[in-house]
Amino acid sequence: MPVKNVKSEYIVQTNQLTKIVDGKEIVKEVSIHVKKGEIYGFLGPNGAGKTTVMKMLTNLWKPTFGTVELFGETLTPTSYDVLKRMGSIIEFPCFYEHMSGRENLQLHCEYMGYYVPDSVDHALKMLGLLEAGDQQVKRYSLGMKQRLGIARAILCRPELLVLDEPTNGLDPAGMKQLRDLFKMLCAEYGITIIISSHILSEVESIADTVGVIDHGRMMKEISMQEISERNTAYIELAVEDTKKASYVLADKLELKNFKVVDGRTIRIYDDGADTGVLSKTLALNDIAIQFIGRKSESLEDYFLKVTGEGNGL
């Protein structure tokens, strides 16, 4: 019997989700909050626990501790009705390879109890597979199978799409096509989409919110808007002697907020810092400047910061 909760603003919510397999904590106390109609980028290095969380969201795996709430209901082992409202790809899409792409989609409709004329053709067309629809799936390339998997996931017009690394095996044009498709599905049909990825650029341009997971722990959950608001522009400086340059920055220019990134790079976050003044002062103090320029923090920078300099990427 599904447990009804007080209506939440979130369509997907996990509470302290933990998964222990063979005594090892794969996912620890992960709390996710996904609003209706948004694209949620679930980011993390390989092996961070993204797929495990996705499996628990789709009820393929059961949490050791914690709960998953979908559409305001706590997921139980027998929560079948919510599955009707979801489309998913976990790890890689599997098909009945001896059947054609079209037959696979028709079979999916039968199991989902979804009978809308032309829905199969429509889904195939959306993913550019209309011509290949009658070919056996075993003749499909990896990219075609991935697109067919997405066609199947969106076929029954789900309210929620859970996509685990959906662009695996796609070329850059295919990835762009999918990003556009996801944006369209979200904007026109109000579908909520959770996309996991370890490729930041894939998510950066489409996500409304990102959750960053590393070593099974949720490191940060933040909206892209907040990232851009927080987005501290900085001046990046490449010099031969960072020690001497740091002394000049602190002592002569009285800058307090800067960081030596590596043996030759310094980032200056002080609002009042000016590239012209910096160049002149450093030159006057005999410090050779190899590069100076203003930069802004990308999602990648943010991700690397949150996951500890991108270990594992």
Partner 1 sequence: MMKLIRLEWKKNNVLKYIRNAVITTAVIAILIVMMAGELVRSADEIDAEYLYGKGILGTTVELFVHMVYIVFTGIMLASFIVSAYAKKTMHLMFSYPINRKKILLSQMAAVWIFNFLAMIVSKLSIYMILVLTSSFTEISTVDISFGELSFWLDILLGSAVMVSISYIALPIGVQLKSSKATIIASVIIVCLTQGNVGSVRLVNNIPFIVILFVISVLSVYLSVYNVETKDLS
Interacting residues with partner 1 (CB under 8 A): 21, 55, 58-62, 77-78, 80-84, 86, 88, 90-91, 94-96, 98-99, 107, 110-113
Shortest Å, Cβ 169 to partner 1 = 16
39 CB-contact burial (10 Å; exposed 0-12 / middle 13-18 / buried 19+): buried
Angle at 286 between CA 280 and CA 292, to 5 degrees: 50
Please state the closest distance from residue 124 (CB atom) to partner 1, in A: 18
Q: Which of 124, 138, 155, 151 is nearest to 96 (CA)?
A: 138
CB 160 within 8 A of CB 70: yes
Q: Which is nearer to partner 1, 151 or 239 (CB)?
A: 151
The count of C-alpha atoms lying within 13 angstroms of the C-alpha of 220, restricted to the half-sphere facing its C-beta, is: 15
What phi, psi does 197 have (nearest 5°)? Answer: -165, 155
- Contact (Cβ atoms closer than 8 angstroms) between residue 37 and residue 190: yes
Instruction: Provide the 8-state DSSP code for 2.
Output: P
Q: Of 98 and 243, which CB lies nearer to partner 1 in the complex structure? A: 98
**Rounded Cα–Cα distance for residues 64 and 25 (Å):** 9
Nearer to partner 1, 99 or 175 (CB): 99
Residue (87 or 237) nearer to partner 1, CB: 87
Q: To the nearest whole angstrom, how small is the minimum distance from the Cβ of residue 81 to partner 1?
A: 6
CA 19/CA 269 separation, integer angstroms: 39
Closest distance of CB 93 from partner 1, Å: 8
Q: Could you tell me the smallest distance in angstroms from the CB atom of residue 233 to partner 1? A: 44
Rank residues 112 and 222 by Cβ distance to partner 1 and give the closer one: 112
Q: Give the burial class of 266: count Cβ atoms within 10 A of its Cβ; 0-12 exposed, 13-18 middle, 19 or more buried.
A: buried
Between helices 172-189 and 142-155, what is the axis angle to 10°?
Answer: 0
- Residue with smaller CB distance to partner 1, 113 or 172: 113
CB of 211 to partner 1, least distance (A): 22
- Kindly state the smallest distance separating residue 2's Cβ from partner 1, in Å: 12
Q: Which is nearer to partner 1, 91 or 180 (CB)?
A: 91
